[in-house]
Structure 1
């Protein structure tokens, strides 16, 4: 009797349970559509803030074209104009830095990766500008880093940043020690923040330590406003 009663009870309980099952409503696609729209809008804003159409196309348009190509000349002129009007350029001149041209007399044997392989449209399309303070022996270099130098999308590869920082340090060694060549002993970097492509970066020497033929430099790489430090590093060289 008890077993039969339990079976009846279970059947009743099951029937009662079925009465209260409510079908779940289908999820709305509205949230997904809003998310897609927001992501597209954000990406579009990001791209337009940090690159021009010419910057983007330089990665593809100007490969293997003559140096006197009209489109390439206009692209370089546009970059030069942007460089001339950077706030940091005006500030450097106001605080006593002098523009110098330390690589003008270099022969091909002494030129660095920046001066050769990377000096292409979409890479480092125009020559960097250098400023020097003879009193403090501090050097500042301004480089334009294009789309071809990215690792992750829109972000400059860490190896390129190391190359640029070493390039500026080598210039600083030549100026501080009055030599035409030097040897890199080691380079240590600390990446603080991702570096966006298609912008100018400012590399500056913050401290110079001399010990005979050896010299140690402290440097930082900043965004084109000079307000945010992206990379810090030290380098040791022998003259």
Structure 2
């Protein structure tokens, strides 16, 4: 005769309106599955953040890959330049009295034009647009995947550098100056800035007092719809 061994599992019985139903405890294996899933996800996330940012992963799927050879690099720059020219904000600026300007001494900016001018950084030179009536300046920068602090987010120091860069150029445009000195800059970060996109930097409310200039600035997303960073700066200038 075969004997059947039955493992007894504690159950809870409830009676409602004359009907009885039973709630059995959940299997302990579910807990270990959750722990294993969490551990695997954490380990994979740690590995990826140590070797590549989330922006690198996104760029593989959505953005142009940064090539290593010279021919590919030139094509990549041409593609970025074409995307910049087709941006809706560029068309709007031209319709609102802004003209593209070319700072004569901008190539002396070693940080923007040399240190950060690499594939995945600020690969192509920024473009500047100036309105002589309002004395407002707009700059468009492409911030690549190598400029991240936290995964897929542009480092706050890079955003401060970009904002100060346009502030200084704006002072030169407004005062027809060749040199300026930064006195004070304050920033307020409003929203995380994703890498691998263009940002629109806008200078407004330019106030002049002798050789001193105060102005306000903001960094917006590439559509010009969301403010990412706000700032204010004061400068002194050397006139021609």
Distance in 2 (CA, whole Å) between partners of 1:94 and 1:165 is: 24
CA contact (8 A) 1:56 1:147 kept: no
For residues 57-87 of structure 1, the C-alpha deviation after alignment (integer angstroms, 9 at most, x for no partner) is 42xx43xx6xxx1010011011011101101
Distance in 1 (CA, whole Å) between partners of 2:105 and 2:161 is: 21
Alignment-derived partner of residue 114 in structure 2: 116
Alignment-derived partner of residue 97 in structure 1: 98
CA contact (8 A) 1:112 1:167 kept: no
CA contact (8 A) 2:55 2:196 kept: no
Tell me which stretches of 4 or more aligned residues in structure 1 moved more than 3 Å.
50-57, 104-108
* Structure 1 unaligned residues grouped into runs of 5+: 1-18, 37-45
Question: Which TM-score applies when normalising by structure 2?
Answer: 0.75
CA contact (8 A) 1:51 1:199 kept: no
Alignment-derived partner of residue 157 in structure 2: 159
Sort the Cα spacing of 1:190 and 1:199 in 2 relative to 1 into closer, same or farther, 3 A: same
Distance in 1 (CA, whole Å) between partners of 2:207 and 2:163 is: 17
* Map 1:37-116 → 2, pairs under 5 A: 51=59, 55=63, 57-58=65-66, 61-62=67-68, 69-102=70-103, 104-106=104-106, 108=108, 111-116=109-114
Alignment-derived partner of residue 221 in structure 1: 219
CA contact (8 A) 1:190 1:233 kept: yes
For residues 151-172 of structure 1, the C-alpha deviation after alignment (integer angstroms, 9 at most, x for no partner) is 0111000000000000000110
Is 1:205 equivalent to 2:198 in the alignment?
no
* Map 1:5-20 → 2, pairs under 5 A: none
Distance in 2 (CA, whole Å) between partners of 1:215 and 1:233 is: 14
For residues 134-182 of structure 1, the C-alpha deviation after alignment (integer angstroms, 9 at most, x for no partner) is 0000000000000110001110000000000000001100000111110
Q: Secondary structure at the match of 1:202?
A: strand
Alignment-derived partner of residue 25 in structure 1: 26
Whose strand fraction is larger, Structure 1's or Structure 2's? 2
CA contact (8 A) 1:98 1:133 kept: yes
Distance in 2 (CA, whole Å) between partners of 1:149 and 1:189 is: 18
Larger Rg: 1
For residues 13-66 of structure 1, the C-alpha deviation after alignment (integer angstroms, 9 at most, x for no partner) is xxxxxx99325222659x968xx8xxxxxxxxx979x746585742xx43xx6x
**CA RMSD for the aligned pairs?**
2.8
* Structure 2 unaligned residues grouped into runs of 5+: 1-7, 12-23, 42-53
